Amino acid sequence: MELKYVQTTCPYCGTGCSFNLVVKDGKVAGVQPYQRSPVNEGRVCPKGTYAHEFVNREDRLTKPLIKKNGTFEEATWDEAYDLIAEKFKSYKPDECAVLSSARTSNEENYALMKFARGALKTRHIDHCARLCHASTVAGLAASFGSGAMTNSIGDIAESKCLFILGSNTFEQHPLIGRRVAQAKKAGAKIIYADPRYTATGKQADLYMQFVSGSDVAILNGLMQEIIKNGWEDTEFLKNRVKGYEELKATVMKEDYSLENVSKISGIPVEQLKTAAEWIGTAESAAILYSMGITQHTVGVDNVKSIANLQMLTGNLGRPGTGVNALRGQNNVQGACDMGALPVVFTGYQKVIDEAAHKKFADAWGFPDGISEPKNGYEVTVMMDVLTDNPGELKCMYIMGENPMLSDPDLTHVEHAIKNLEFLVVQDIFMTETAELADVVLPAACYAEKDGTQTSTERRVQMWRKAQDPPGEAKDDWKIIAEIAAKMGYADQFAWETAEDIFNEIAAVTPSYHGMNYERLNRPEALHWPCPAEDHPGTPILHGAKFAHPDGFGVMHAIDWKPPAEVPDAEYPYVFTTGRILFHWHTGTMTRRSATLDNEVPTGWIEINPEDAKDLGIKDGETVKASSRRGSIIVPARVTKDIMKGVMFMPFHFKECAANILTNNALDPIAKIPEFKACAVKVEKITEA
Ligand SMILES: Nc1nc2c(c(=O)[nH]1)N[C@H]1C(S)=C(S)[C@@H](COP(=O)(O)OP(=O)(O)OC[C@H]3O[C@@H](n4cnc5c(=O)[nH]c(N)nc54)[C@H](O)[C@@H]3O)O[C@H]1N2
Ligand SMILES: Nc1nc2c(c(=O)[nH]1)N[C@H]1C(S)=C(S)[C@@H](COP(=O)(O)OP(=O)(O)OC[C@H]3O[C@@H](n4cnc5c(=O)[nH]c(N)nc54)[C@H](O)[C@@H]3O)O[C@H]1N2
Ligand code: SF4
Ligand SMILES: [Mo]
């Protein structure tokens, strides 16, 4: 038996842990710790531990599939490419839309971004960051001039006070959770606020349970209490930020007295006082947040409010401080950095900026030009355009996303996707979305390809090929380049290796300029910005000044607004959704990992015991949950861990899909949907 160990980075979350893939006789057979990673220091969570289990599943996609008379038939790559090239060429640029993938490498996202703007010449490219941290990208850019996590993962352990809001860190970023535990052991105070008493809440020194959708009120209340007690950082406010007077006028209003905030949120006044004191008086305080903050119609307001609190207390630019927006997918930071967004090229160079547009048009050299210098549609807007204005968008190319389970209001999504004339899906498994495609293309997974991905702390790390892909599956970037060649653009996609693509990325992207595979090929890798080959990279942002041109941070005066849909007599409960430790989003990989699937085989809805009593529902009983969008049948889990009046569901399970119920109301700036709050009713199922 031939045995080898290939060091690579985890394909699941944005923490960016490293491990070794154990390869037996050419096939990935296990995961072993890799001790030298400064991120995870040899430890991995359950998803990492079993990240080999789905790789060699017999139901991997192995051949291109073309739908004929409603059923898929196996095809050769050439047949698939010819059909796709002919179809793509038949549409006008803005009739085409592209969804890129935070599950794939930087090189693959760059390839698809270049393909969208250069080969299809469309403005409409986006990816799942829209459903995730779009509010962070917009909110932190407005506050600090840069939309990324400010500090590093290791730095969290240095903090004296951690305020975790809308992040279930121990389940969703377990190896960041480990840093929280280290900080606590060293004496830091841990404050946790969440409608659910999660695994993370159970580690906290102060747990505040509240009603989904009251974040701005809570943050304004904390700021009022801090200012009343003189705990604000006057030096920082004077020297580093603008807008303090306006912010103060808003947060000092009677609306945000702790008594009023307590009424809105349900958090007792005493708890809010303690939280304000701990944050206001700590030598260093960091905020960790994630989807509980961003996935709201006020997502951008929530993010700006978090930035306000950290500027008010001067908790930025130093170790143990910061606004730590924990990015979700393994490479969602990278997919954004690569310009898989409707408004920017790589490194956030704006498509509407004439100089940037010319720079990319010149660097790429498409003889017939690139997409117009105009912003395109976001994923959520694409779906609305498809239903509301049929015929405007006609074809779509989806790489590594499964909107038929992950987007809000699935009935609407299905209607939208069925309005397409031509759909290509490129994935590693047959997904709910791929089922609706005209052509399905088989991709290699993380264990089968080289490339880089960028973690939540802006650390750019390598994937290394451990085995060959199954059947005829190919690297995503190769598929893209070969379609481009069929469309007449062989010269623009003439890469031989992933490294060739990375070198092109570094050449056109200032924050990646100083990176190359040789420099990245070491355990600590590099954090962007890394502008030159002798630059060491940048673990902590905003040390001496913010990224705005004048160097100042900007405070925003923000009033609290309720969610788009609030409970009423017909739908009397707040409904919120999220994740669990053992499963990943639409379950394509974790539900095919035998160990993880055994741990948690299906979904449930969490109901507080008092609500259950009112409804006459017992723990474990199957119930009907409905919103204005639809109904599902799902087992009830009666637990005190969820606040009275609020119900929670994980969204991983197609047989009880939470997104049948969710609301696709959008934040006006970020266009992120309100996954974290809508209104539902729950009924007992009575025998027919
Ligand atoms: N195991 C696992 N880990 C994952 C993922 C996965 O699918 N599975 N997905 C990854 C991805 S892409 C992402 S984006 C991250 C997400 O990571 P998290 O944001 O930590 O995960 P969620 O469970 O979506 O939501 C976090 C918490 O928000 C709370 N919440 C609900 N409503 C509100 C509200 O109105 N305000 C506040 N402040 N909180 C609220 C929920 O109760 C929940 O505990 O996880 C990443 N890690
Ligand atoms: N109700 C509710 N809905 C939510 C959320 C929520 O909190 N609540 N969270 C939202 C968030 S934050 C996110 S990030 C989205 C995630 O939404 P999606 O990105 O749609 O979910 P995934 O299941 O991660 O889908 C990724 C797809 O990529 C495929 N894949 C994996 N590796 C590769 C590869 O190397 N190449 C190719 N071509 N394909 C690959 C997988 O098989 C899978 O089909 O869900 C959103 N939806
Ligand atoms: S914490 Fe995230 S990156 Fe680390 S092993 Fe778990 S899923 Fe993978
Ligand atoms: Mo996400």
CB count in 10 Å sphere of residue 491:
12
Extended beta strands in 413-505, E state: 422-427, 439-442, 451-454, 459-463
What percent of the chain is modeled with pLDDT above 70? Answer: 100
Q: How far apart are CA 616 and CA 440, in angstroms?
A: 46
CA of 13 to the centre of ligand 1 (A): 12
Query: What is the residue with the minimal CA distance to atom 46 of ligand 1?
Result: 328
pLDDT bin (cut points 50, 70, 90) of residue 104 is very high
Establish whether residue 575 lines the binding site of ligand 2, counting it when its CB lies within 6 angstroms of any ligand atom. no
Instruction: For 218-261, write each residue's pLDDT tens digit.
Output: 999 999 999 999 999 999 999 999 999 999 999 999 999 999 99
Closest-lying ligand 2 atom to the alpha carbon of residue 328: 14
Testing ligand 3's pocket by substitution, the residue of 41, 153, 170, 175 carrying the most ligand atoms inside 8 A of its CB is 175
Phi, psi of 128 (to 5 degrees): -65, -5
Nearest ligand atom owner, CA of 672: 2
Establish whether residue 649 lines the binding site of ligand 1, counting it when its CB lies within 6 angstroms of any ligand atom. no
Place of tokens 């779509």: 396
The pLDDT assigned to 147 comes to 86
The pLDDT assigned to 85 comes to 98
Establish whether residue 45 lines the binding site of ligand 3, counting it when its CB lies within 6 angstroms of any ligand atom. yes
Instruction: For 610-628, write each residue's pLDDT tens digit.
Output: 999 999 999 999 999 999 9
Phi, psi of 379 (to 5 degrees): -50, -50
Establish whether residue 49 lines the binding site of ligand 3, counting it when its CB lies within 6 angstroms of any ligand atom. no
Closest-lying ligand 3 atom to the alpha carbon of residue 15: 3
CA of 578 to the centre of ligand 4 (A): 10
The pLDDT assigned to 276 comes to 98
Q: Flag whether pLDDT at 686 surpasses 80.
A: no
Establish whether residue 13 lines the binding site of ligand 1, counting it when its CB lies within 6 angstroms of any ligand atom. yes
Instruction: For 43-91, write each residue's pLDDT tens digit.
Output: 999 999 999 999 999 999 999 999 999 999 999 999 999 999 999 999 9
Establish whether residue 172 lines the binding site of ligand 1, counting it when its CB lies within 6 angstroms of any ligand atom. yes
Q: Flag whether pLDDT at 498 surpasses 60.
A: yes
Establish whether residue 461 lines the binding site of ligand 3, counting it when its CB lies within 6 angstroms of any ligand atom. no
Instruction: For 463-481, write each residue's pLDDT tens digit.
Output: 999 999 999 999 999 999 9
Establish whether residue 403 lines the binding site of ligand 2, counting it when its CB lies within 6 angstroms of any ligand atom. yes
Going along the chain from its start, the domains and CATH numbers come out as 65-131+330-527 (3.40.50.740), 134-325 (3.40.228.10), 573-684 (2.40.40.20)
Instruction: For 629-655, write each residue's pLDDT tens digit.
Output: 999 999 999 999 999 999 999 999 999
Q: Flag whether pLDDT at 197 surpasses 60.
A: yes
pLDDT bin (cut points 50, 70, 90) of residue 688 is low
Calculate the average pLDDT of the chain. 97
For the ranges 372-376, 507-511, 683-687, the lowest mean pLDDT is seen at 683-687
Residue 464 is classified by DSSP as: -
Q: How far apart are CA 291 and CA 301, in angstroms?
A: 14
Q: How far apart are CA 461 and CA 36, in angstroms?
A: 13
Instruction: For 265-303, write each residue's pLDDT tens digit.
Output: 999 999 999 999 999 999 999 999 999 999 999 999 999
CA of 45 to the centre of ligand 3 (A): 6
Closest-lying ligand 3 atom to the alpha carbon of residue 46: 6
- Could you tell me which of 407, 388, 390 has the C-alpha nearest to residue 398? 407
Q: How far apart are CA 613 and CA 284, in angstroms?
A: 44
**What are the start-end ranges of the H helices in 426-542?**
476-486, 498-508, 517-520
Establish whether residue 505 lines the binding site of ligand 3, counting it when its CB lies within 6 angstroms of any ligand atom. no
Report, in angstroms and rounded to the nearest whole number, the Rg of the chain calculated over CA atoms: 24
The pLDDT assigned to 148 comes to 86
Q: Flag whether pLDDT at 550 surpasses 90.
A: yes
Nearest ligand atom owner, CA of 128: 2
pTM of the complete model beyond 0.85: yes
Establish whether residue 174 lines the binding site of ligand 3, counting it when its CB lies within 6 angstroms of any ligand atom. yes
Q: Flag whether pLDDT at 687 surpasses 70.
A: no
Q: Flag whether pLDDT at 213 surpasses 70.
A: yes
Instruction: For 141-182, write each residue's pLDDT tens digit.
Output: 999 998 888 999 999 999 999 999 999 999 999 999 999 999
Q: Flag whether pLDDT at 421 surpasses 60.
A: yes
CA of 306 to the centre of ligand 3 (A): 25
Establish whether residue 305 lines the binding site of ligand 2, counting it when its CB lies within 6 angstroms of any ligand atom. no
Query: What is the residue with the minimal CA distance to atom 19 of ligand 2?
Result: 401
**Tokens found for residue 660:** 């049948």
CA of 539 to the centre of ligand 1 (A): 24
Establish whether residue 329 lines the binding site of ligand 2, counting it when its CB lies within 6 angstroms of any ligand atom. yes
